[in-house]
Structure 1
């Protein structure tokens, strides 16, 4: 994810911290320093670090239950407004999605229960303690924060946990697409309430409202795209008008091709049309900066690139593009020769078409990047 820093790996999941979270810690420390000096600043930063450990545990509640159902999570990213676990896919079974969604908030319940019952903070103290109350103990504030995280995440604002729980219940009676559309509309409405409340209460609610609105919209469009392309092979939706670079090409020849086309990704093929690599526009510019125009393309191309067969369902290409985080997927025919590519830009154009024409069915007309 852009502007995120890897800090650890737990099992198969990379833990990343967004740079805005680090800036947020600095801001918290500076604000507390002004109020109570060095000790207050250290307490404030320590509280935020412990809080986000709880957030990480919350996300791993989702991750571990998802792993039980065979769904991997390549990475989880911590933001100032919470964590995002990037599941490879959403389960088709609504009951599985329900259990995955509810697992995170239940982790916060367990943490709060440990602090209240085992350590003995007291339920009344945990409920009435303010998160920014300097007179309260650190553990009491942490118990309060976990109770808040539990309640806040169960708000039915898709794609928050409560929204996913709502979609799971709806999907038990409706189609997955219709359940998503209803949950997304509720999420967008809730996001508007957050933003409106933020004008009078706290600016952070405006940020949360914006995040929820954009995420709900993106999820709704993604599901609409899946519905519109369901059952169609990759060949029906791939970019087939692709210019490829011969394996013997130089960077100078690659520049000529880049200037003659609107492509950003260039497959590198041998004389029989079998792909050997992928050269991106950014990679080309970087290579030109570091070496001369006569350098062979084969020395700078990506050799590890995802491929998909043109006969496979388009959903397979969508899943692969999400998992690989690659700039493009090379599409092959039955003889393993290049016949097209699928790119995020290609997907974006189809999503824009679906947002304007929800009834549009792809496959009757080629959408090209």
Structure 2
């Protein structure tokens, strides 16, 4: 994810901190410094750092539970509003998703119980609720924060943990796709309530509401796409009518190709039909400004282009395209020759067609094996 800093890898999962989290930490420290001096600033920064350590452990609860069902988690990213574990996929079996969803809050329950046991007779529920009071024991505030994390995460607002629990329960009755639509709609409703509450209580709730709304919409769209593409190979959706450039082509040649076509991505292909790279329209314009029209395209193209075989599942191609953040995916035949392109735009066109004609079936195309 852009603006994320890699801080380490734990058990095969990369841990990242978003820049906004560091800014949030600095803002907390500065605000408390103005109110109570260096001691208050240090206490607040330490509390937030320990709280997000608990958030990280919460996310690893999801990671370890998902790994039990063969689901990998490439990375975890910490934001000011919490953590996000990017699971490779969501288990489709409702029981499995239920276990993965509750595993995170369960970690916070354990942390809170351990802290309460450590505090022993000194524990006070009133103190645990005073999270911003530096006079209260750090451990008491941390125990209270973990309890709040459990309660907040279990709100049935998809895609929060409570929303995923709700989807798992609904999926046992109405199926995964319908359950996702229902849970996403409920999540968006909660997002509006959170945003409204944020106007009067805490502005941070507004940012959480925006995140919940957008994430719920994204999850619903992803599941809808998966339903549309289930069993569909890449060859059924790829672009087959496109112009190519050769390694010896100049930027002037690329300009002529751009003008006489509607393409935005121009594959650079050698004499054997093998993909060498892709030149995008934006990169072409920038290269013209910096290098001149006579420069060869091979010097300015993007050579790191992800590729996939045309018989691979379309869903796998879409995931690969998103992970690589590439302008296009090169589709290859059995001899590693370029036979098509896959872009976010033509996938979007497929979704547009299916949104108005749900029963539409795309024609079968058979590139070279």
TM score, norm. by length of structure 1: 0.88
User: Per-residue deviation at 1:106?
Assistant: 1.0
Contact 1:229 1:361 in 2 (8 A): no
Matched residue, 1:9: 9
User: Per-residue deviation at 1:225?
Assistant: 1.6
Whether 1:105 and 2:105 are equivalent positions in the alignment is yes
Equivalent-residue separation in structure 1 for 2:211 and 2:152 (angstroms) = 15
User: Per-residue deviation at 1:119?
Assistant: 4.8
Q: Where do residues 29-44 of structure 1 align in structure 2 (5 Å cutoff)?
A: 29-44=29-44
Q: Helix, strand or coil for the counterpart of 1:120?
A: helix
Equivalent-residue separation in structure 2 for 1:199 and 1:351 (angstroms) = 36
User: Per-residue deviation at 1:221?
Assistant: 1.3
User: Per-residue deviation at 1:163?
Assistant: 0.7
Q: Helix, strand or coil for the counterpart of 1:76?
A: strand
Contact 2:128 2:143 in 1 (8 A): no
Q: Where do residues 322-337 of structure 1 align in structure 2 (5 Å cutoff)?
A: 322-337=322-337
User: Per-residue deviation at 1:70?
Assistant: 2.0
User: Per-residue deviation at 1:164?
Assistant: 0.8
Judge which range, 116-125 or 205-214, deviates more: 116-125
* CA deviation vs aligned residue, 1:314-342 (integer Å, no higher than 9, x gap): 22222322444433211123443222211
With CA pairs under 8 Å and 6+ residues apart, which has the higher RCO, 1 or 2? 1
What is the root-mean-square deviation of aligned Cα atoms in Å?
Answer: 2.7
Judge which range, 167-176 or 320-329, deviates more: 320-329
Q: Closer, same or farther in 2 for the Cα pair 1:227/1:41, shift >3 Å?
A: same
Q: Closer, same or farther in 2 for the Cα pair 1:327/1:74, shift >3 Å?
A: farther
Q: Helix, strand or coil for the counterpart of 1:326?
A: coil
Matched residue, 1:57: 57
* CA deviation vs aligned residue, 1:3-44 (integer Å, no higher than 9, x gap): 222222223222222121122112111211121112111111
Q: Helix, strand or coil for the counterpart of 2:173?
A: coil
Q: Closer, same or farther in 2 for the Cα pair 1:255/1:274, shift >3 Å?
A: same
Matched residue, 2:86: 86
TM score, norm. by length of structure 2: 0.88
Judge which range, 155-164 or 236-245, deviates more: 236-245
Equivalent-residue separation in structure 1 for 2:121 and 2:4 (angstroms) = 36
Q: Closer, same or farther in 2 for the Cα pair 1:303/1:145, shift >3 Å?
A: same
Whether 1:75 and 2:75 are equivalent positions in the alignment is yes
Unaligned runs of 5+ in 1: none
Matched residue, 1:141: 141
Equivalent-residue separation in structure 2 for 1:320 and 1:310 (angstroms) = 13
Equivalent-residue separation in structure 2 for 1:222 and 1:150 (angstroms) = 27
Judge which range, 321-330 or 283-292, deviates more: 283-292
Q: Helix, strand or coil for the counterpart of 1:8?
A: strand
* CA deviation vs aligned residue, 1:162-220 (integer Å, no higher than 9, x gap): 11111112222222111111111111111111112112211111211111111111111
Q: Helix, strand or coil for the counterpart of 1:48?
A: helix
Judge which range, 75-84 or 285-294, deviates more: 285-294
Q: Closer, same or farther in 2 for the Cα pair 1:158/1:110, shift >3 Å?
A: same
Q: Where do residues 1-369 of structure 1 align in structure 2 (5 Å cutoff)?
A: 1-120=1-120, 124-125=124-125, 128-281=128-281, 284=284, 293-351=293-351, 357=356, 359=358, 361=360, 363=362
Contact 2:328 2:343 in 1 (8 A): yes
Q: Helix, strand or coil for the counterpart of 1:172?
A: helix
Equivalent-residue separation in structure 1 for 2:195 and 2:359 (angstroms) = 32
Q: Closer, same or farther in 2 for the Cα pair 1:183/1:265, shift >3 Å?
A: same
Poorly superposed stretches of 4+, deviation over 6 Å: none
Q: Helix, strand or coil for the counterpart of 2:174?
A: coil
Q: Closer, same or farther in 2 for the Cα pair 1:49/1:128, shift >3 Å?
A: closer
Contact 1:166 1:183 in 2 (8 A): yes
Equivalent-residue separation in structure 1 for 2:89 and 2:121 (angstroms) = 39
Equivalent-residue separation in structure 1 for 2:62 and 2:215 (angstroms) = 18
Equivalent-residue separation in structure 1 for 2:314 and 2:218 (angstroms) = 19
Contact 1:278 1:303 in 2 (8 A): yes
Q: Closer, same or farther in 2 for the Cα pair 1:15/1:270, shift >3 Å?
A: same
Unaligned runs of 5+ in 2: none
Aligned residues: 365
